[in-house]
Structure 1
Amino acid sequence: MRLRSLSKNLLVRVLVAIVLGVVVGLFLPEWFARVFMTFNGIFSQFLGFLIPLIIVGLVTPAIADLGRGAGKWLAVTAAIAYGSTIFAGLLAFLVAKSTYPWLLGGERTVNGLENPEDHALSGYFEITMPPVFDVMTALVLAFCLGVGITLIKGNVLHDGLSELRTIVMRVVEKVIIPLLPVYIFGMFLSLTMNGQIVLVITTFLRVVILAFIMTIVILVIQYCIAGLVAHRNPFVMLKNMAPAYATALGTASSAATIPVTLACTKKNGVDDRVAGFTIPLCATIHLSGSTMKIVLFSLAIMTISGMPISTGQYIGFIFLLGVTMVAAPGVPGGAIMAAVGILQSTLGFDETAVGLMIATYVAIDSFGTACNVTGDGAIASVMDRLLRGKDGTLRNAPVETAA
């Protein structure tokens, strides 16, 4: 990879920001550090203002598009993708609940995130940007509008919301994503100067290792189920999907990996028409790996900060997260940006917790993407089997979607 391309890579810029934040925080004077705290305060306010608009701008047309698609097979594919995403989230929740007491044992007693307002540096001034409406209002509005569009004739509202989605995506791509490294630098600078950085690094290294293991476990489960349905060897199917996994590791983009995922899926015996329909669709709506990572890291933050973890509340969060993932923008770190709203509204995450979520998520973004796209092949195999009659011939095949 050329140096210029490397410098534009979000992962590289985030990692550089983390390292610089830790190193510079050891000697930077407090008066200068407060400049970055001022920026972080303004950026956080703008992000909070933008989150409800992101939800309406992305979720509404996503629901409307699903309703206007290829009929019942699109609904079946979406239901399987959503179920797979929810399963990954619930599995991650169970694993975290059973392992964190000893994996992160005693961490919450360390001076750190339990009262971040007592330790954090403050900015020189604040700019308040109240959102137009809160996150739950945005979700309800998105559902109502999205479902309503599928029930009426005409394209005016649908086209208008599609343009709103384009605007929101441009803001995310041109403003939020480029400024994220500066925001993360300021956050790790603050953590270092407040003596919290050792807690953060030691804790999240363990969670990263657990996330890698969980990625393999989820893929094995998905392909065992797919192999059972399709009457194929699941491990041979997984082996055939290896090029798609490797490509996703390099691109951190489900969309960019679609051609490779298609080729690998067809190698598993999936009909061209079924693969051409399910793979582009699942690249947008199936984010099991991303959901797993968000669950693991959010529970880690709640554990080390001493936040109460209610099983009922968190399961509700997972189901909301699954819906939000359907509309996650197709940019690096897009899934976590779409999830920020419900992290704040449902789990009560503050600015420090959100910043840690963004940093840790982006740092291993490609592994979640690789899990997502490889799992798409399992869903395609299931759909291929469901679309075949008793004689094995394909019936009522859906029309291929645009990649």
Structure 2
Amino acid sequence: MKKMKIGLLPRILIAMALGIAGGMVSPEMPVRVFVTFNGLFSEFLGFLIPLIIVGLVTPAIADIGREAGRLLVVTALLAYGATVCSGLLSYGVSEAVFPSLISDQIEWTSINEAKQQEPYFTVSITPPMAVMTSLVMAFTLGLGIAYQGTATLKNVFTEFRQIITKTIQVVVLPLLPIYIFGIFFNMTHSGEVFRVLSVFVKIIGVIFVMHVVLLLLQYAVAGLLTHRNPLRLLMRMMPAYFTALGTQSSAATIPVTLRQTIANGVGEGIAGFVVPLCATIHLSGSTLKIVACAMALMMMQHIDYDMQGMIGFILMLGITMVAAPGVPGGAIMAALGILQSMLGFDQQSLALMIALYIAMDSFGTACNVTGDGALALIIDRWFGRRGAVTG
């Protein structure tokens, strides 16, 4: 009999459900086993991410040819514009809705840092380079190959892309559901999921609705430009969305985002360039969440703000997000500096900001990676249809 094959999306959903259910009743030892596995897998992902960027972006730029420089600028501007627009949307909705939801009676002292289980052992795998270093290297080499027409180097990176692709297919994708199970297993066992989220449930609800609205707007624009059904395009990206819910990392979700973007009809060359790039520079969901969390905390703690100051903060935040590493919570860590310098957050406010952000980190990341697919559709409409990409 033919074996029934379970797709990636059902496996991710099953892993999430089992992690939450198991975490409520499991003793300590199984949790530590999966924490150990997740630590090893995270180290491997951290090692692999720069190689993924170099292996996919470099040959993608080389394949695109002399339009690569223009493509890079247009993609970066589009990603920045989308990030800023999401921040402005978040500011407007927060200003209108939060005052009626926020109560001064919230006891901030009830938010305690959850103590999660420690792994049995750890193995440190140093990445060959930083994420930003790999991006700069990919741009430099890709543009150089494209303009010089260096056939030897192009063949080397084409074969390197095949190695990276095979590694993703054989190692990363099969282990992702186990990794996601371990994340939810540990968080539920520690009590972090319920204790932290219960304090901010109303704010989280509004932010989640804003994420949905943002994705609908992004895919409405992509659908309008490509003359395709935006809801079908969005639904096809759901495996990437749910993968990001577990990994909490745009960079770690690149393999799934890339696969679903190509399934949406984006050329492989454009997808191989836009998806890894946008995983680092396009953080609409994270920006929306940071702005909303900052607005909520300023209202709760009666910190003064005005429209002009918030717009300046959003414009700077869009640039700062590029420095966010591809790890869970990286965006808020990158934003702490301007939260302090531009909005006047003290150490207590920063600690509360981290608690509120981390409680729903995965939803912002899921919005980021799903939005990457919309940007790829737009870029493919502008560049891919001109024959710049083959295959």
Normalising to structure 1: TM-score of the pair?
Answer: 0.59
Q: Look up the SS of the partner of 2:386 in the other structure.
A: coil
What displacement does 1:201 show? 7.5
CA distance in 1 between counterparts of 2:199 and 2:312 reads 26
* Residue type at the aligned position of 2:217: I
**What corresponds to 1:43 in structure 2?**
none
Could you tell me whether the CA contact under 8 Å between 2:247 and 2:328 is conserved in 1? Answer: no
Q: How many residues are treated as equivalent by the alignment? A: 255
What displacement does 1:111 show? 8.3
* Residue type at the aligned position of 2:388: N
What displacement does 1:221 show? 0.4
CA distance in 2 between counterparts of 1:224 and 1:201 reads 31
Q: Look up the SS of the partner of 2:303 in the other structure.
A: coil
Confirm whether residue 72 of structure 1 aligns to residue 70 of structure 2. Answer: yes
**What corresponds to 1:396 in structure 2?**
388
Decide whether aligned partners of structure 1 residues 309 and 203 sit closer, same or farther in structure 2, where only a CA change above 3 A counts: farther
Decide whether aligned partners of structure 1 residues 298 and 203 sit closer, same or farther in structure 2, where only a CA change above 3 A counts: farther
What displacement does 1:395 show? 3.0
What displacement does 1:73 show? 0.6
What displacement does 1:329 show? 1.2
Confirm whether residue 354 of structure 1 aligns to residue 382 of structure 2. Answer: no
* Residue type at the aligned position of 2:270: V
Could you tell me whether the CA contact under 8 Å between 2:251 and 2:327 is conserved in 1? Answer: no
Q: How does 1:214-229 map to 2 (within 5 A)?
A: 214-229=210-225
Decide whether aligned partners of structure 1 residues 111 and 224 sit closer, same or farther in structure 2, where only a CA change above 3 A counts: closer
Confirm whether residue 3 of structure 1 aligns to residue 1 of structure 2. Answer: no
CA distance in 1 between counterparts of 2:294 and 2:367 reads 19
Could you tell me whether the CA contact under 8 Å between 2:324 and 2:330 is conserved in 1? Answer: yes
Normalising to structure 2: TM-score of the pair?
Answer: 0.60
Q: Deviations over 1:12-39 (max 9, x none)?
A: xxxxxxxxxxxxxxxxxxxxxxxxxxxx
CA distance in 2 between counterparts of 1:321 and 1:272 reads 31
**What corresponds to 1:213 in structure 2?**
209
Decide whether aligned partners of structure 1 residues 203 and 306 sit closer, same or farther in structure 2, where only a CA change above 3 A counts: farther
What displacement does 1:331 show? 1.4
What RMSD over aligned residues (CA atoms) do the two structures have, in Å? 2.9
**What corresponds to 2:382 in structure 1?**
386
Q: Look up the SS of the partner of 2:252 in the other structure.
A: coil
Confirm whether residue 327 of structure 1 aligns to residue 323 of structure 2. Answer: yes
What displacement does 1:6 show? 4.9
Could you tell me whether the CA contact under 8 Å between 1:112 and 1:305 is conserved in 2? Answer: no
Identity fraction in percent: 52
* Residue type at the aligned position of 1:311: M
* Residue type at the aligned position of 1:240: R
Q: How does 1:1-400 map to 2 (within 5 A)?
A: 3-4=31-32, 6-7=34-35, 70-104=68-102, 107-108=103-104, 110=105, 204-388=200-384, 393-397=385-389
CA distance in 2 between counterparts of 1:336 and 1:278 reads 23
Could you tell me whether the CA contact under 8 Å between 1:324 and 1:339 is conserved in 2? Answer: yes
CA distance in 1 between counterparts of 2:225 and 2:106 reads 51
CA distance in 1 between counterparts of 2:359 and 2:199 reads 15
Q: Look up the SS of the partner of 1:71 in the other structure.
A: helix
Could you tell me whether the CA contact under 8 Å between 1:282 and 1:376 is conserved in 2? Answer: yes
Could you tell me whether the CA contact under 8 Å between 2:336 and 2:350 is conserved in 1? Answer: yes
Q: Deviations over 1:357-398 (max 9, x none)?
A: 11111111111110000000000000000014xxxx433349
* Residue type at the aligned position of 2:322: V
What displacement does 1:202 show? 7.0
Decide whether aligned partners of structure 1 residues 378 and 299 sit closer, same or farther in structure 2, where only a CA change above 3 A counts: same
* Residue type at the aligned position of 1:372: N
* Residue type at the aligned position of 1:344: Q
CA distance in 1 between counterparts of 2:273 and 2:265 reads 15
* Residue type at the aligned position of 2:299: T
CA distance in 2 between counterparts of 1:201 and 1:241 reads 26
CA distance in 2 between counterparts of 1:3 and 1:366 reads 20
CA distance in 1 between counterparts of 2:35 and 2:356 reads 19
* Residue type at the aligned position of 1:211: I
CA distance in 2 between counterparts of 1:111 and 1:318 reads 27
CA distance in 2 between counterparts of 1:330 and 1:362 reads 14
Q: Deviations over 1:49-99 (max 9, x none)?
A: xxxxxxxxxxxxxxxxx9xx9411101001111111111100000000001
Q: Look up the SS of the partner of 2:200 in the other structure.
A: helix
* Residue type at the aligned position of 1:99: V
What displacement does 1:231 show? 1.1
Could you tell me whether the CA contact under 8 Å between 2:254 and 2:279 is conserved in 1? Answer: yes
CA distance in 2 between counterparts of 1:357 and 1:215 reads 19
Q: Deviations over 1:327-369 (max 9, x none)?
A: 1111111100000000000000011110011111111111111
* Residue type at the aligned position of 2:77: A
Gaps of 5+ in 1: 11-65, 117-145, 151-184, 189-197
Decide whether aligned partners of structure 1 residues 275 and 317 sit closer, same or farther in structure 2, where only a CA change above 3 A counts: same
What displacement does 1:211 show? 1.2
Decide whether aligned partners of structure 1 residues 5 and 241 sit closer, same or farther in structure 2, where only a CA change above 3 A counts: farther
Q: Look up the SS of the partner of 1:335 in the other structure.
A: helix
CA distance in 1 between counterparts of 2:368 and 2:106 reads 36
